[in-house]
Chains A and B, each alone.
Chain A
Amino acid sequence: MLMRNLVILSLLITSNLFALDIKPVPFRHRTLQNGLQVYSVEDHSTPAVTIQVWYRVGSKDDPPNRSGFAHLFEHMMFKSTRNMPAEMLDRLTEDVGGWNNATTFDDSTPYYEVVPSNYLETLLWAEADRMGSLVIDEATFKSERDVVKEEFRYRVLAPPYGRFYYVITQSSFAKHPYMRPGIGSIEDLDAATVEDVKQFHSTFYRPDNAILIVVGDFEQTQLDGWVNRYFSPIPKPVAPIPRVEVKEPVRSAEKRVTDRVGNVPLPGVAMTWIGPAASSPDAQALTVAAAVLGRGESSRLYQSLVYTKEIAQEVDASADLRQDLGLFAVLAVMASGHDAAEGEKVLRAEIRRMADAKISSAELEKAKNLLITDELRGRETNDGVAFALGEAIVLEGDPGAVNSGLARLQAVTAADVQRVMRKYVRNAKPVVVTYRGQEAAQ
């Protein structure tokens, strides 16, 4: 997850689950003539409003030899437009006590603001303005590209395990552009041009490729009027929107990758498998499986590798399900004196155990409760609600999933979890990534 400005938004990584006794998100929807999808949720509990514009373009749409471009482009969206000088979005948000940011995911790029609600009209004007035009000069482009190169160093080079995650992404896909880490590489960033920026904006930043979400303190008819006034004049281009058509082949053999980096004191090991798309009926069962394996100190991986055997320092399991397909992963950073091979052996045993026998009903209920509570925490704020809605629309192709996700989660059985572990993991081939310091490389 890459963003313009560094913040921690843990709610972004949750899936869309929802408790039965929880108020549904009462969203309204309409479509403008130019194809813009508009969703709104009126809530007057605080005098603030969240405005989000999600574009259906992400890192998977990076042009050839331009890895990292979608993210670099995201940064450029805060520079000049026809009617705004560079950083004017900050004047309209931060300077009045709000904030803004944007995030480049693999499949989408949401731009978002949280402002006192009396600034809603101003921000709708601004979002419409940068959807309609972007004016980038060479000097601005180069300076912001330097910022993104610093972001690359900050995320990948400076932290001891930054490259670990980078290599896991690169190694886990054979063909699909999900294989390109969204942050890109210094060489590809250096190759990008102002012309690429113009091209990318005209190709993807258009009303029929965008979703506007407004949550918070507004009046519906007033909002509708402003949206008509500022967004309706933006023309819908005639050219079709290019889409990634690449199909990831089924893995025919296990693959092993080793990476060695200077400043890594403890070795790491990760195993990944190709999972289903976020919209798959198997999504919830696989999410539960990841929680049983890796959520909290009572999880199977923690109990086995960290607590009982004391061979790992940190463990994780994740079902990162995206629009086209997903990645199921388990990971261990070893404890001092223990090698990655030891960790891999136990990770394999724990994976096998998930496929060989059903999880207990206590484990099933625990995982569901943890996932529901995560989702509730996201509902404490307007932007949390807007993100949940945006993810349902973009990843699952169904805004109603923001409310129906819980029923599907509640319906997951132990047999479902076993079935998906067999289907996507036991009966499939892993990619195994080991990560070591230079000293341990003998």
Chain B
Amino acid sequence: MNQLLVLLLTAAIAVPPPPAPPRAAALPAPVERTLDNGLRVITVEKSDVPLVAARLMVRTGAEEDTRDFAGLARLTASLLTQGTQTRSAEQIARGVEALGATLRADADWDYSAVDVDVMSTNFPKAMDYFADVVRNAVFKKEEIERVRTQSIDALTVSLQEPMTLARLVASRVIFQERPYGQAAGGTPQSLARIQREQIAGFHERNYRPDHAVLLIAGDIKPEQAFALAEKAFGTWKTERRVEGSPLPTVPQTVPAPRIVVVDMPDAGQAAVVVTRRGIPRADPLLYQALVTNSILGGGYSARLNQEIRIKRGLSYGATSFFEMRREAGPFVASTQTKNESAAEVAGILIDELDRLATADLSDKEMAPRKAVLIGNFGRALETNAGIVDRLSMLALHKLPLDEIGRYVPSVQAVSATRVREFAAASLAGNTASVVIVGDAKQFLEALRKRFPQVEVVAVAELNIDSATLRR
């Protein structure tokens, strides 16, 4: 059964030389300080390449968006670089790019962030623009209109992509309402409703030093990083504390699983998504979830890709992941396949969830999948941007920064029994919903055989603003 074993038993064949003893990797050593205004500053020195990456993160993102104004956090972030009290959008772009820097702002579910990446010699100058857009964005009406139009056009394009649409529908199916049921990027209708008042309000409530974390990593000494942080953000004051309404919580009632087909007759491929609710980032079961997912769909040789791509040639790739958020975000297993094989692939995805919960799991299968997690973890910390990202997520979820040193042993400690328990409790196939976006006539009959309860919505009738999915 095992090809490698067969190989070793065949005497005439050469075998690979065995590995030498491994060397341990060094982890980044963050140092931190809190400015008088409450801004937490975390920095890591890494001097092999003359670059610096920095992020200013505020602890609120799209989860705060109301139903009417879905997309507000993202729209606000997009507008930060489009004009401040002293600089126009063009002056910001020109000044930043003259330094060879990239400056980007975006909002995720739990946070909004501005990122800068620049040669270390130009970092002090880049900090000036970076702090200016965070603190002094003015949200001019004409810039709002421009970004609104662009955002709606971009959304219109992305809604033509089968997988993008399938993921949006999947979130609606498993969460139904806000926060996570709606689209973080909003809809063309909600984006059209947002006014300057909401944008400026979001900024005033959330972009403030005692609600923010600044991360700086790269070719810079900690003392210099703290001095630049003080210079750029030390005078940043919260004029008055504006309390927003409390963050919405995810309703505890889990809706019954659904099987949904969005019929898109000109889809060049079908997007197949199997989904259910996952776990929060700070959940004690985190490492069980990570190891379980690594076995199921976290990488090239994980089970989903083995079954769907390697054994059957049904896709370019199949994958699964947990989106770790403040509250339990989605678990997603997904792939794209030719329309006629969509039903077969949906069946395989569900079967693999069940196999994980029921069949035995050998150490021989576990060990490589843990190595994948550990290898990816180490490589992500080779770049400044990777270090900033990892530390900012720990800070966001109020986890100690030294958790970075517990990642490897925590992954290693997960046993096969724990994986099976976790899979049985959290990933059983009959608790998952299925969403397929594609040319329904090519797979609907086959799909009905396995899932008689399938609902079909024509793409022209689809309403992602409602849990019914219909207008």
Interface residues of A (CB under 8 A from B): 5-6, 19, 21-22, 45-48, 82-88, 90-92, 94-99, 114, 116-122, 125-126, 129, 142-147, 149-151, 153-154, 156-162, 217, 262-266, 295-299, 302-303, 306-307, 310, 313, 333, 335-336, 362, 365-366, 368-373, 376-377, 379-381
- Say whether A94 contacts B89, CB under 8 Å: no
Contacts A116-B22, A122-B19, A336-B156; is A45 near B313 (CB within 8 Å)? no
- Say whether B97 contacts A370, CB under 8 Å: yes
Contacts A97-B372, A156-B268, A157-B268; is A122 near B17 (CB within 8 Å)? yes
The CA-CA distance from A83 to B336 in the complex, in Å, is: 33
- Say whether A150 contacts B23, CB under 8 Å: no
- Say whether A150 contacts B156, CB under 8 Å: no
Contacts A160-B157, A380-B383, A380-B384; is A296 near B22 (CB within 8 Å)? no
Contacts A21-B50, A47-B22, A97-B374; is A147 near B315 (CB within 8 Å)? yes
Return chain A residues, CB-CB under 8 Å to B97: 295-299, 366, 369-370
CB closest residue in chain A, given B338: A153
Query: Can you list 15 residue pairs at the A/B interface with Cβ under 8 Å?
Result: A5-B317, A94-B301, A118-B23, A121-B19, A146-B312, A153-B338, A158-B336, A262-B266, A263-B160, A266-B156, A297-B93, A313-B150, A333-B157, A366-B94, A381-B379
- Say whether A313 contacts B368, CB under 8 Å: no
Bitwise interface map of B from 364 to 403 toward A, beta carbon under 8 Å scored 1, else 0 = 0001100110111011001110000000000000000000
The CA-CA distance from A381 to B4 in the complex, in Å, is: 31
- Most chain B CB atoms below 10 A, which of A146, A149, A217: A146
Return chain B residues, CB-CB under 8 Å to A157: 268-269
Contacts A146-B314, A160-B157; is A381 near B382 (CB within 8 Å)? yes
- Say whether B19 contacts A94, CB under 8 Å: no
Bitwise interface map of B from 74 to 117 toward A, beta carbon under 8 Å scored 1, else 0 = 00000001000000011001101111111000000000000001
Could you list 5 further interchain pairs (A-B, Cβ under 8 angstroms) beyond the known A82-B13, A157-B268, A369-B100? A121-B17, A150-B309, A153-B268, A158-B163, A369-B98
Return chain A residues, CB-CB under 8 Å to B247: none
Return chain B residues, CB-CB under 8 Å to A86: 3
Return chain A residues, CB-CB under 8 Å to B99: 369
Interface residues of B (CB under 8 A from A): 3-4, 6-7, 13-26, 48-51, 81, 89-90, 93-94, 96-102, 117-119, 122, 146, 149-150, 152-154, 156-157, 160-163, 264, 266-269, 271, 299-301, 309-317, 336-338, 367-368, 371-372, 374-376, 378-379, 382-384
In the A-B complex, the 9 residue pairs with the smallest Cβ-Cβ separation, listed nearest first, are: A157-B268, A97-B375, A369-B100, A146-B313, A95-B368, A47-B23, A262-B266, A297-B93, A85-B3
Return chain B residues, CB-CB under 8 Å to A48: 25, 378-379
- Say whether A303 contacts B317, CB under 8 Å: no
Contacts A158-B161, A158-B268; is A88 near B4 (CB within 8 Å)? yes
Return chain A residues, CB-CB under 8 Å to B19: 96, 116, 118-119, 121-122
CB distance from B267 to the nearest CB of A (A): 7
- Say whether B267 contacts A335, CB under 8 Å: no
CB closest residue in chain A, given B24: A47
CB distance from A234 to the nearest CB of B (A): 13
The CA-CA distance from A362 to B371 in the complex, in Å, is: 48
CB distance from B371 to the nearest CB of A (A): 4
CB closest residue in chain A, given B315: A150
A98, A121, A156, A336: the one contacting B20 at CB < 8 Å is A121
- Say whether A335 contacts B269, CB under 8 Å: no
CB closest residue in chain B, given A334: B153
- Say whether B23 contacts A377, CB under 8 Å: no
CB closest residue in chain A, given B25: A47
Return chain B residues, CB-CB under 8 Å to A90: 300-301
Return chain B residues, CB-CB under 8 Å to A158: 161-163, 267-269, 271, 336
CB distance from B373 to the nearest CB of A (A): 8
CB closest residue in chain B, given A97: B375
B94, B160, B163: the one contacting A264 at CB < 8 Å is B160
Contacts A307-B90, A313-B150, A380-B384; is A95 near B301 (CB within 8 Å)? yes
Contacts A117-B23, A380-B51; is A144 near B313 (CB within 8 Å)? yes
Return chain A residues, CB-CB under 8 Å to B269: 150, 153-154, 157-158
Return chain B residues, CB-CB under 8 Å to A117: 20, 23
- Say whether B149 contacts A335, CB under 8 Å: yes
CB distance from A269 to the nearest CB of B (A): 15
Return chain A residues, CB-CB under 8 Å to B367: 95
The CA-CA distance from A83 to B7 in the complex, in Å, is: 8
Return chain A residues, CB-CB under 8 Å to B22: 47, 116, 118
Return chain B residues, CB-CB under 8 Å to A264: 160
The CA-CA distance from A150 to B300 in the complex, in Å, is: 16
The CA-CA distance from A22 to B97 in the complex, in Å, is: 20
- Most chain B CB atoms below 10 A, which of A121, A362, A376: A376
- Say whether B161 contacts A5, CB under 8 Å: no
The CA-CA distance from A370 to B269 in the complex, in Å, is: 37
- Say whether B375 contacts A46, CB under 8 Å: no
Return chain A residues, CB-CB under 8 Å to B18: 122
The CA-CA distance from A160 to B158 in the complex, in Å, is: 8
CB closest residue in chain B, given A101: B300
CB closest residue in chain B, given A21: B50
CB distance from A340 to the nearest CB of B (A): 15
Return chain A residues, CB-CB under 8 Å to B160: 160, 263-265
Return chain A residues, CB-CB under 8 Å to B49: 376, 379-380
CB distance from A186 to the nearest CB of B (A): 10
Return chain B residues, CB-CB under 8 Å to A159: 161, 268
The CA-CA distance from A153 to B134 in the complex, in Å, is: 41
CB distance from A46 to the nearest CB of B (A): 6
The CA-CA distance from A267 to B96 in the complex, in Å, is: 31
- Say whether A303 contacts B150, CB under 8 Å: no
- Say whether A91 contacts B4, CB under 8 Å: yes
CB closest residue in chain B, given A126: B16
CB distance from A304 to the nearest CB of B (A): 11
- Say whether A94 contacts B372, CB under 8 Å: yes
The CA-CA distance from A83 to B378 in the complex, in Å, is: 31
CB distance from B127 to the nearest CB of A (A): 16
Return chain A residues, CB-CB under 8 Å to B102: 296, 373
Return chain B residues, CB-CB under 8 Å to A83: 7, 13-16
Return chain A residues, CB-CB under 8 Å to B309: 147, 150
- Say whether A370 contacts B100, CB under 8 Å: yes
CB closest residue in chain A, given B364: A95
Return chain B residues, CB-CB under 8 Å to A373: 51, 100-102, 117-119
Return chain A residues, CB-CB under 8 Å to B375: 96-99, 116
The CA-CA distance from A192 to B163 in the complex, in Å, is: 30
CB closest residue in chain B, given A362: B98
CB distance from B94 to the nearest CB of A (A): 4
- Say whether A45 contacts B312, CB under 8 Å: no
Return chain B residues, CB-CB under 8 Å to A154: 269, 316, 336
Contacts A90-B300, A96-B19, A150-B269; is A313 near B157 (CB within 8 Å)? yes
Return chain A residues, CB-CB under 8 Å to B315: 147, 150
Return chain A residues, CB-CB under 8 Å to B368: 91, 94-96
- Say whether B314 contacts A46, CB under 8 Å: no
